[in-house]
Amino acid sequence: MIDSIWTRTARLPRFKGLEGDLKTDVLVIGGGITGLLCAWMLKQAGVDCALVEAERICGGTTGGTTGKITAQHGLVYRKLIREFGTEAAGLYRQAQEAALERYRALCREIDCDFEERDSFVYSLSDCRKLEEELEALSQIGAPAVSVRELPALPFPVAGAVRYPRQAQFHPLKFLAALSKGLPVYEYTRVLEWKPGSVRTDSGTIRAEKMIAATHFPFITNHGAYFLKLYQSRSYVIALENAADVGGMYLDEEKTGLSLRNGSGFLLLGGGGHRTGKKGGGWQAPEEAARQYYPDARILCRWAAQGCMSLDGMPYVGRYGGNTPGLYAASGFSKWGMTGAMAAAALLTDLVLGREDRYEALFDPARNILRPQLAVNALEAVVNLLTPTAPRCPHMGCALKYNPQEHSWDCPCHGSRFAEDGRVLDGPANGNKKMH
């Protein structure tokens, strides 16, 4: 369980585990934000559904998010136009904006520290990338503008792209309210999928349709997600007695800093890296805190990870070509707040047989011939051939020891294990014997 500022300041409802067999029309697998939003939308539509979670709801990546609700996903739109064209990039933006509007409407009724904030992507040295992103945003009609200075930040920047009227919130307060009354079964791990049913550690669940909202899709032999996804760690500290920066900020460099305030603290993130590889870790935000906020006190620190797609677009839709009635949602590339809401809306439409304008855009079966595919494949080959133990039970890659977090991490697909072999992150679907 992630020990974040959110888990410390929210009370999530508790649900019983499944006892025996169950029959339902739609089964949602995974109790993070995507799964809970799916279950909530299905229930709102009058669908007989159930959700199962292997541990506690929101115990994984959802509990470690920074809680930014924004259509500005780094410098993504110039990449999307290059990969997919202007129309597709515009549709992607519309899906994220629609997700933001859904949060706005829901958060009027939920006390979850929802606040409007401008979002900024800044560069310390390279304005050329910012200019390219501004041009891309202009092509798709986004209301972004160029900013030369950011006086609220404690360091100088070369420039920034400002995206107005985005938002932030307390994700677990939001989900605590949303999940009350949902048909949820905690501590119920899905062990095996077959068309029309799953086997859990406590019984069989039959359902015509199922949604795999497990962060990384857990059924290995369908959909080729082991080639299409890798995972990346992010590190965050919460500071008390730090200045209010008045917005949400992200360095365009992957290893740069992320900043945003909320509920009396400052979230400072940085040090990200591919799971199983070396990186800055907590050292990066902690050094920044000492340099820029010397009077601040660290309240807590945590890490989480995002599933990164090959092309910057999530995978949301039919799980694979031979998985009737099974749907997936993954690859939000660290933008899971709007990504989850957009995915839940799309999957609800698919389950109900309704047309959805975003179905083709997020289709998991789209072309995978992207440069990142070769990187993922090479990483898998190298680690499969590395003659060391322990090995990851997911697909047999050599695990790497992570001294900062005292865990064994898989550089192929991002599974993580505690020193005693307890599974911390999937896609591995169970504990590992370490000796």
Q: What pTM was estimated for this model as a whole?
A: 0.95
Higher pLDDT, residue 207 or 374: 207
Strand order of the β-sheet with 416-418 is 400-402, 407-409, 416-418, 423-425
* Mean of pLDDT over the chain: 94
Q: Is 286 helix (H, G, I), strand (E, B) or coil?
A: helix
Q: On the CB side of 71, how many CA atoms lie within 13 Å of its CA?
A: 28
Task: List Cβ neighbours of 109 (8 Å cut-off, separation of 6 or more).
Answer: none
Characterize the bridge pairing of strands 115-123 and 68-69: unpaired
The pLDDT, as a whole number, for residue 258 is 97
Distance, CA of 81 to CA of 267 (rounded, Å): 31
The pLDDT tens digits of the residues spanning 90-101 come to: 999 999 999 999
Whether the pLDDT of residue 353 is over 90: the answer is yes
CB 427, CB 416: distance < 8 Å: no
The pLDDT, as a whole number, for residue 404 is 86
List, in sequence order, every beta strand (DSSP E) within 155-226.
159-168, 184-185, 190-194, 197-200, 203-212
The pLDDT tens digits of the residues spanning 411-434 come to: 988 899 999 989 999 898 878 777
Outline which parts of the chain fall under CATH 2.102.10.10. 371-425
Q: How confident is the model at residue 33 (pLDDT cuts 50, 70, 90)?
A: very high
Distance, CA of 298 to CA of 242 (rounded, Å): 10
List, in sequence order, every beta strand (DSSP E) within 131-194.
145-147, 159-168, 184-185, 190-194
The pLDDT, as a whole number, for residue 126 is 85
Distance, CA of 365 to CA of 213 (rounded, Å): 17
The pLDDT, as a whole number, for residue 388 is 76
Using alpha carbons, select from 375, 253, 257, 250 the residue that is nearest to residue 310. 375
DSSP state of 153: S
Whether the pLDDT of residue 280 is over 90: the answer is no
Whether the pLDDT of residue 65 is over 70: the answer is yes
Outline which parts of the chain fall under CATH 3.50.50.60. 5-65+173-228+311-351
Distance, CA of 6 to CA of 62 (rounded, Å): 10
Lowest mean pLDDT among 350-354, 360-364, 384-388: 384-388
Task: List Cβ neighbours of 308 (8 Å cut-off, separation of 6 or more).
Answer: 229, 230, 231, 232, 331, 333, 334, 372
Pair of tokens at residue 248:
């949400």
Q: On the CB side of 194, how many CA atoms lie within 13 Å of its CA?
A: 6
The pLDDT, as a whole number, for residue 435 is 61
Q: How confident is the model at residue 86 (pLDDT cuts 50, 70, 90)?
A: very high
Region 117-134: mean pLDDT is 96
* For residue 390, cis peptide bond before it (omega within 30 degrees of 0): yes
Pair of tokens at residue 343:
């995915």
Distance, CA of 394 to CA of 392 (rounded, Å): 5
Lowest mean pLDDT among 15-19, 132-136, 220-224, 328-332: 220-224
Distance, CA of 173 to CA of 9 (rounded, Å): 8
Lowest mean pLDDT among 69-83, 143-157, 371-385: 371-385
List, in sequence order, every beta strand (DSSP E) within 45-202.
49-52, 68-69, 115-123, 145-147, 159-168, 184-185, 190-194, 197-200
The pLDDT tens digits of the residues spanning 222-261 come to: 999 999 999 999 999 999 999 999 999 999 998 899 999 9
The pLDDT tens digits of the residues spanning 10-24 come to: 999 999 999 999 999
Q: What is the second-level CATH architecture of the domain 5-65+173-228+311-351?
A: 3-Layer(bba) Sandwich (3.50)
What phi, psi does 91 have (nearest 5°)? -65, -40
Lowest mean pLDDT among 135-139, 269-273, 348-352: 269-273
CATH for 371-425, options being 2.60.40.1290, 3.40.50.2300, 3.40.50.300, 2.102.10.10: 2.102.10.10
Task: List Cβ neighbours of 5 (8 Å cut-off, separation of 6 or more).
Answer: 238, 263, 265, 267, 299, 300
Instruction: Say what percent of the chain tops pLDDT 70.
Output: 100
CB 342, CB 358: distance < 8 Å: yes
- Classify each residue of 133-168 as buried b or exposed e, where b means 16 or more C-beta atoms within 10 Å of its C-beta: bbebbeebebebeeeeebeebeeebbbbbbbeebbb
The pLDDT tens digits of the residues spanning 281-323 come to: 899 999 999 999 999 999 999 999 999 999 999 999 999 999 9
The pLDDT, as a whole number, for residue 57 is 98
What phi, psi does 428 have (nearest 5°)? -55, 135
* For residue 427, cis peptide bond before it (omega within 30 degrees of 0): yes
Using alpha carbons, select from 173, 174, 214 the residue that is nearest to residue 190. 214
Whether the pLDDT of residue 375 is over 90: the answer is no
The pLDDT, as a whole number, for residue 257 is 96
Query: H helices then E strands: how many in the chain?
Result: 10, 21
